[in-house]
Chain A
Amino acid sequence: MIPRFPRGVRLHHDQARERWVVMAPERMFVPDETALEVLRLVDGARDLEDIIDALAAKFDAPREVIATDVRAMVDDLVARGAITP
């Protein structure tokens, strides 16, 4: 599975408020820290396993623990329309 942003959805740096926001048609939301770590790796090329590998390395954490968190987060982001599987 390669998560991607659907057309019309993107991660945007909100400079005035020093935060990242997901911009979508007529709505926006502020991702929490975990969601943001995932979203910043969504580039239409990395698949879910690559993203889990990258975050396990970045946080020096057991892959199984990271994998559980990331899969749950991706399910949530898909349900919210921020990414498509």
Chain B
Amino acid sequence: MNAPLALLAELTHRCPLRCPYCSNPVELTRASGELTTQEWARVFREAAALGCLQVHLSGGEPTVRRDIVEITQAAHHAGLYTNLITAGVLLDAALMARLVDAGLDHVQLSVQDADPAGAERIGGMKGAPARKEMAARLVTEAGLPLTLNAVVHRQNLHNLPLLIETALHWGAGRLEVAHVQYYGWALMNRDALLPTREQLDAATRIVDAAREAHQDRLLIDYVVPDYHAARPKSCMGGWGNRFLGVSPAGRVLPCHAAESITGLDFPNVRDTSLRAAWEDSDAFNRFRGTAWMPEPCRGCDRKEKDWGGCRCQAFALTGDAAATDPACALSPQHGLLAAAVAQAVSPDFRYRGFD
């Protein structure tokens, strides 16, 4: 069994934005259910002892937590490389300075669209684009490395060249161009977000050209959507293999979307150690390695490359979390993806939110 390399700490589900593709579960945890500062500090120490080298401080919006500075400091003291994943709309100069003093290593800032009107509409927050530009300035002026994270889909892909310009203009050293992954909220809004094959191919060409044109200034990571794929992604690098997530309420997860799979009982840091959760829990062992795999994965020479794809997607699309990911052309249910693309025509979506 490998030790985990990275911890995703979802500090809260609260967020001023309402992106319709939010990766949080459809059933959100309220503030009263969130782990305390001390509980997070213990999680960080246990994660570092278990082998984690970096922590992604995420949410929701992590800076809505009043103790975000103490939390960052606790992660830093545990010896973890600290990455703040933020929408940036609550950052000001004072908070930035305190986060730097607390040991913050890197900031990943989300952008919803390069066009401000589109960004306001998709993120569901007036005034967010200007605040984000200010946040980018605060990060670079503090001397911290900046990544822009652009989630792309049918309604903003036409602005991809402008998104790349924005990353350069704002002084980002990295840009993530991540096609929406369809779980939870995004699955609910799939018809409004799925790109066409032509859009995907155009985006890939634009990213390839930008990588070459800006190779000295900007590193571009590119995440493609499953719905036009012939082979599945190596989801999380394998279930329970490298990645560990802890939800706002303390549930320990092999992937941030894992709670969408019903019938799995996830351990909670309030009841158990991170090590016991990682090594001994049924939830982590259920799909670890390759022994659980059915055909066609079982006899496939790619089974230790893609680990059968994504369990959450298999469950969401087929109702069986142990099925081969339908993103694989060898899956008997591969046709579900083309059918979904064909019916994705309406631009209407539902914002993410507490019900």
Contacts and interface: CB of A to CB of B under 8 A. Distances in A.
A55 B176 CA distance: 39
A3 B3 CA distance: 32
B289 to A, nearest CB: 19
Contacts of A25: 83, 105-106, 108, 145, 147, 173-174
B53 A7 contact: no
A80 B135 CA distance: 27
A28 B83 CA distance: 13
Interface of chain B: mostly helix, strand, loop or mixed: mixed
Given A17-B3, A23-B81, A26-B174, A8 B54 contact: no
A71 interface: no
Contact of A8 (B5, B144, B219): B144
Contacts of B176: 26
Given A8-B106, A16-B3, A23 B145 contact: no
Contacts, number: 48
B108 A26 contact: yes
A7 B81 contact: no
A28 to B, nearest CB: 6
A21 B81 CA distance: 11
B221 interface: yes
Interface string A22-53: 01111010000000000000000000000000
B51 interface: yes
Interface of chain A: mostly helix, strand, loop or mixed: loop
Interface string B26-50: 0000000000000000000000011
Interface extent on A, as a size class? 10 to 19
Interface residues of B, number: 22
Contacts of B54: 23, 28
B53 A12 contact: yes
A85 interface: no
Given A12-B53, A16-B50, A7 B143 contact: yes
Contact of A14 (B53, B144, B221): B53
B138 to A, nearest CB: 14
A21 B53 contact: yes
Nearest to B174: A25
B51 A26 contact: no
Interface string A1-25: 0000011111010101100010111
Interface of A: 6-10, 12, 14, 16-17, 21, 23-26, 28, 81
Across chains A and B, which 5 residue pairs bring their CB atoms closest together, nearest first?
A: A16-B51, A8-B145, A25-B106, A23-B81, A25-B145
30 contacts: A6-B145, A7-B145, A8-B106, A8-B144, A8-B145, A10-B105, A12-B53, A12-B79, A16-B3, A16-B49, A16-B50, A17-B3, A17-B51, A21-B53, A23-B53, A23-B54, A23-B105, A24-B145, A25-B83, A25-B108, A25-B145, A25-B147, A25-B173, A26-B83, A26-B108, A26-B147, A26-B174, A26-B221, A28-B81, A81-B219
